[in-house]
Each structure stands twice: as structure tokens, then as C-alpha cells.
Amino acid sequence: MQASLPAQLSYQPYHRLFRQPLKTHHGLWRQRDGILLRLRDLEGRVGYGEIAPIDWFGSESWAEAISWCQAHTGWLDLSELDGIPLAMTATRFGLSCASQDLLQDPGDLRGWDQQPPIPMCGLLGSCRGAFAALESFSDPDQWGAFKLKIGLEDPAIEQEQIRVLLTHLPSGIPVRLDANGGLNPAQLETWMQAEELLQRIEFIEQPLPPDSFEAMLRASQQGGIPLALDESVAGLAQLSQCYERGWRQLVVLKPAISGSVGEWAENKALHALQQVVSAAFETVVGSYHAARLTRLHHLEQRAVGFGLDHWLANDGGNPVDPFRVGLLAARQHFEAVWLALGGAA
């Protein structure tokens, strides 16, 4: 529940191009549309947040988020933020983060910044394009994992591409396979039986569409390569539903579309299941808040999926990575990012 405090809301839409389109089962992603948020109270304190929706993942659309911001720009009471519809998970996350940032004592962050860096997972894209993507990583042995998109070609072709790629990756680094719900049950069985890949594949992410939950649940109980839900658990409400229906393996959670940060502490499934925190191609503002939640809820056990900055244009939106430089250092860039993406001072 938000505190009762008057604050002035400003927002800045942005449209960021991918350096090259990201190919997934959902299609080509060419542009990341989002909204930066700024709250300022009567004492002059400022808090920043970000709305980074992915409507084909289950959040509201960018247009719906903009409509909410247009209707609420100017002075409001922070308690009004509790009234944001539950289905608008990205908007709830962004505004709750901005409110928290407004009230946060920066000194509270120092203890977290003194902890070891959180390991990260780098995105290589499609199996066919993975070699070219790997060249953009100057230090591949410093990453905790790498991620490939699958379900774009025949499994036999992709598996052979992975076998070759593995000979070029550091031997101790696992690989994650993300199908974005693009496999059918027969193809999933083919992947699950790829025993020669078992030692290097950390998990297969969202192998089937969300409406095939029971089939994924059965597959997860048969052994072999572990499975993880992603699109099926786009928000905390969906996470709870999957847990109640029996899911006990991994889940990939994108904070940017999860809902209000206040809901994290109350969610039983969040703390009962193994979590992999993942990015939504947000700016440093959104990734800062994701890093803060990762520290707060002790979700550093597996490499976080935030090695994505090299996919976006160098437009000032991601000057640093909070998971690498720390929270305090990252927060110092918020105003510069606001201005770089077109916001008024």
C-alpha cells in the first residue's frame, strides 16, 4: 500500500531501436517502446520509475500505459497508485518503483553494493546467429550463462548448431534455451531426449504456449533437461496460479511486468520456487529497480538475464549496468537518461 503523500507526476515516452531485430517465436522485435516516470514532492525530492510493457507477454500495451499517464499527469497523491488496475502490471511496477525511489534513503543501498556482483546471462539470439552475437562479448568467460532462442528451425538443425557453438564457449558456462512457447509436444520431447546436451543446458524456457500448462507440468516431472516457465508467469498473479496448479521447477520472472513491488513480499510462490530474474529491454532506470528487488529478495542464486544492452541502440538509455556497477552508481545516471531520451529538465 502506497503512502499518502502529494507528488507531481511527469512522464517521458521513448522509442528505442534494436541494433538488429530480435527474432523470437512471436516474430521480429525491432523497437522497444516504453515510458520513463518522474515523481517530485513538495520538498523537491525526486523519484524515477519506468513502464516497459510487453503486451504479447501478457502485460498491458504501451498505448494503454500512455493513456493512464495522460490521465494522471500533474499532482496526485501516492495513495492513488493503489488504484491502478491489476491487469496493468507494467504500469503498477513503474509507478510503485518511482514512489519507492522518491522515499528511498540512498544510504540504505550501500550495504547491497558491498556484496559480490550478481552473475549475468548474456543473450546470443537465434542458434543460427549465435556465433556473430558471441563476437560482441569481449569477455565470455566472465558471464554466468548464455541464452539462445530456439523453436525457429527444426530441432535437429538447432541442436547441431548448439553442439558446434558449445565447442567455442568456456566449458564451465551453461546455456539456456528459450522457446517463447514455440515448440509443440513432439518437438519438446525431442529436446528432452537430447542427452548429449544435458550437461551443458541449464534449462529450456517456456517450451510450450501458456495454454499448454498441463503438458509442460507432465514433461517437467519426467526428468531430463529442466524446464522453466516464462510467458506463463508474466505477472505475480499468474505465478501464484501456476504454483497452486503444481509447478515446482524453475520460473523466469521479468520484474518490469510483474506488478507492484509491494506485491513481491506477499507472494508465497515467489519465495517457494527457484527464480531466474530476467530483463524486458528496459533502460537503466528499470534495470536498477530490478537489481534492487533481486538483492532485497535474495534472488542471486542463478545468473540474471540482464546481459542485453548490446542489443539496443547506443542512445544514452543504458549508460551503465546496475548489476555490475552497483545501485548507487547506477542511480546517479537517472536524470541524464531522462534528458537523453527526450525529457524536459
In angstroms, the CA 30 to CA 24 distance is 11
In angstroms, the CA 291 to CA 281 distance is 14
Mind giving me the DSSP string for 265-328?
TT-HHHHHS-EEEB--S--HHHHHHHHHHHHHTT--SS-EEEE-GGGB--SSS-SS-HHHH-HH
**E-assigned strands of 70-187?**
74-77, 120-126, 145-149, 175-178
218 CB burial (10 A radius; 0-12, 13-18, 19+):
exposed
Cell 543504458, residue? 318
Catalytic residue among 23, 147, 254, 268: 254
- Which grid coordinates belong to 77? 497523491
Amino acid at site 176: R
Our CA dihedral for 306, 310, 314, 318, rounded to 10 degrees, sits at 10
In angstroms, the CA 47 to CA 44 distance is 10
How far, in whole angstroms, is CA 165 from its chain's centroid?
Answer: 25
User: Which residues are within 8 A (CB) of 89 and not within 5 positions of it... i.e. 6 or more apart?
Assistant: 58, 59, 60, 234, 235, 236, 257, 258, 259
Active-site annotation holds for 268: no
CB contact burial 183-214 (16+ within 10 A = b; e otherwise):
beeebbebbbebeebeebbbbbbbbbbbebbe
- Which grid coordinates belong to 152? 525457429
- Catalytic sites, residue numbers: 149, 254
